[in-house]
Amino acid sequence: MHFNPYGGAAAELAARLVNAPPDHDPATLLTDAGYKPVGTVTARQAAELRRWAARLDEVFTTPGVDPINALLAETTSRPYISTHDGREPHLHYAAESAPIDERVKAYTAAGLAELYCEAPHRIGRCHREQCPRVFVDTSRNGRRRFCSDRCANRVNVARHRARSARPA
């Protein structure tokens, strides 16, 4: 499925932030996700991005208009059209000169909002018990239930073993 950059890449970044370990390096996470420009991430900004990840997690737990609107209200979003780096015109939700934490917050909130408006059922949390991971469902049929094939396989193997262990 094709999403626009905010409904896709931005929502995917939101999932990465939520799934990151508590001691992750936000600059590395952002760079690995292809978010540019990252620049320096101060200790205060890193702490704010970790706090923001907890707020994003709430949306993956209970996707809906109210939680997403609350995220949008918490950002310093000021949408404008940009054509940087020779790219086609596209929306930015925070000034490129804004601190990295403000830019990421505006980007991820807008991404989740866009995704929710296009396909709310594609905001997901892994259905394997004890797996805390979240995901954006980009599958063709939009019926993904697990964060990875590994989690899906664990559940399916456990079900198979439970059926096989039943007396005939």
Token duo for residue 74 = 């918490």
Hey, where are the domains in the chain? Answer: 6-121
Q: What is the pLDDT of residues 8-59, one digit of tens each?
A: 889 999 999 999 999 999 999 999 998 887 888 999 999 999 999 999 999 9
Token duo for residue 26 = 């936000």
Three-point CA angle 39, 48, 83, nearest 5°: 40
**pTM value > 0.75:** yes
- CB of 7 closer than 8 Å to CB of 138: no
- Cα 130 from chain centre: 19
- CA 86 to CA 84: how far, in whole Å? 5
- CB of 112 closer than 8 Å to CB of 123: yes
Q: What is the pLDDT of residues 104-153, one digit of tens each?
A: 999 999 999 999 999 999 999 999 999 999 999 988 888 999 999 999 99
The confidence score (pLDDT) of residue 135 equals 96
CATH number, span 6-121: 1.10.3300.10
The confidence score (pLDDT) of residue 1 equals 47
- What Rg value do the Cα atoms of the chain yield, rounded? 18
Closest CA to 64 of 127, 132, 124, 120: 120
Token duo for residue 153 = 């396989």
